[in-house]
Structure 1
Amino acid sequence: MSKSLISVSVLLVGYASAQSGMNVGNRQQYDRSMLEHSASNMQKARSIAYFNNIDCRYQINAPAGHYIGISFDTFLIEGKNDFVSVYDGPEIDESKLIAKFDTAEADLQSQSTGNQMTLWFHTDRANTGKGWFANWVAKKVLPPINQFGTSGVVISPNYPKRYDSFINQLYNVRVNPRSRVRATMEDFEVEENFDNLLIYEGMVQEPRFLVANLSGARGVKWDHTFAGDSFSMKFASDRAVQQKGWRMSWAQV
């Protein structure tokens, strides 16, 4: 696992790499030449307001086979008019927009699907603030957990110990053809509203096949018989709070 952090206040453009682990910036827009900033300089920078009328691009590169999780620990900008947009991949492409943050009241965390993430910080000509401070981490892509048979048990990573931050784990379960499968949640404890177990009918994880979205402790008594011979799941967590997770049994019926 690789991790680093990026910070903005007087920085106009930043470029960071999980492989180098450096905190860098440049005052020429979209220029990737690097200027190192020590921790002491970054601490001083956070006490100074950022500039008006700037567009700053930050690109994060992680090693191949990883995805990126990012969270903003400090977020002091002019609400609504100044914002940070987060994109999946190396470009500012609205079709790849993951999140847009313009207030500290939002859940200031996000994940990429691949090993690159791009941030765009925009300010208008009016008011400014002290800026923002973000931590990011490169997480190794986990292979799907596949089970086939007439019965079994699936668990969250590390169960019954706490799962990790920014988990993104897929599960596929299949019984014999022309049979049905029943799943029963035996134990369930995750951070409510922020960590979720999405359960789908079949192997296609699209909204129209979503059967349940479990979070908090409400899923303890969950029990469901699927229409077909398979189901799939995705478990995702954020950075903030990790719990012991969950345990589910399944059986052919």
Structure 2
Amino acid sequence: MDIHDNVLQVKKTCPVFLFISIAACLFIEGVTGGALRCGEVLYAGEGKVQSPNHPGKYPSDVNCEWLITTEYTNHITLLFSTFELEESPGCHYDYLEIYDGRNANSPLIGKYCGMNQPGPLTSSSQSIFMKFISDMTIERLGFSVNYSTGCSRTFYGPSGEIMSPNYPSKYNTNLDCVYKIQVGNRKRVKLVFVDFWLENGDTRTNCDYDYLEIRDGRNSNSNLIGLFCGNDTPGMIVSHSNTMTLRFVTDGSVVERGFLVQYITEVADDQRTNQCRRNNGGCAYTCRTDNRGRVQCECPEGFNLNQDGRSCDDFDECQEQQPCAHVCSNTPGSYRCECWEGYQLADDGKTCEDINECNDNNGGCQDDCRNLPGSYYCTCSDQNKVLMSDGLTCGEYSVQQRFHSPVERIMVSASRCATRDPPPSIVPVTLGFQLNSDGFNCSDVNECQRPANRFRTYSHHCNQQCFNTPGSYYCDCDDGFELSPNGRVCKDIDECSTQLNYQCDQKCTNFPGGYRCDCFPGWQKSPRGRCKDINECLNPPEDCHTCVNFEGG
């Protein structure tokens, strides 16, 4: 019985309860002799989907299915307000599955459980299919999710975040999203862009392909603030009214990472008295004033305020915190973890789990498939057969294949080669080697020349220098850097925090890979690198009657 059969059953069994929704009717009626079933066919518009009994606990042994569909050219966006299911590894017990299409055969967007609320989700087609399963034991409070056609939304409240659909993954094609921000009377809206990357257009004249349009007001006739595309992050933007409208438009071809923008509310102070209203107080991002009217600059999360007290630099979590098990890629204001080939990212987004290649078409092996951490190999169960040179198929034993006896089987997988249970007369071949085309011998894999793929930021996992060794490799760093404990990432050495600081006469300035000695204001460097006083009285100001020089002024 599918969801359409459920709807037909409702029409037959609940004709007198017209005021009850289809979802409620299905939950009450159920299916005799099986799990309680609920669900609904919904046509967007906009609306809400909730687990049975929400906001109370959902029942045990439930199977609910919802199909949300809209016009052909539109997309559907889901925004969760509450989410609490039973937590389990791999979401084996209670879970919510969301598919990008009309049924469970469509591409899976995600499988969710526990307390981690899914972010905004946008379909690439005109339909979304949701399936909620609970087992026979523990029940939680369930979920509530709002759905809407397209990706448009109105934001209220003093602050918030707006992100392109699927951010930080790539946005969809053919979008037309309208975001409205409305704050209280006598307030203004300030936008601070944390990340921005759209398809490039001809920015000298206009943005022809994908663009973000920002207007100071509530509709398309309001004053145009700007049209933005490419990867040049827009500066700080402040409205003159209490409403701002953002329109995000994409064409049918190239897609990029999109954008993340934060908004805050400002009191509509007189520009003459609020220093932040004049060129944002000189701040690169957020400007605030204390109770004495002095400017205080702040940075978004993931950025550090520089010594000038105005500008912000990205905080490189990959170098400072080393949060990832394998490969860490820094992004503006954040970071992203990736795994080596043969592994996949775990649910915590940081650690990596081995992929069992033998579960996928037996790894391509004709006979037995054996999994390894990050790889696998094929073997032959018939003692009269040996593994052929392709590392996948089994063939008859022959004199020419004498090194392929059952006790000398060669394991071949993804540029890895090893012997299994070799006799004393055979020298074993270890990981870090690959099988030659003759099917007998192995040669070293030069990991430092391995081609990059989507699983790796660097093919050899070193972010500076790579040195190949027989069967392996190691990483090293350029001058002025030191190797992190993970043996892959090089961190800058802050020479100014070491004894090298004492080599400077006055001020030590660190920079990536080195440092330099500077002088305080009113001083200058001599040819020998020492700081000496500048005698300003040699060229005194015209309004200076008597000039007295002192050190530094």
Normalising by structure 2, we get a TM-score of 0.25
Q: Which has the larger radius of gyration?
A: 2
Q: Which has the higher helix share?
A: 2
Q: Report the TM-score when normalising by structure 1.
A: 0.49
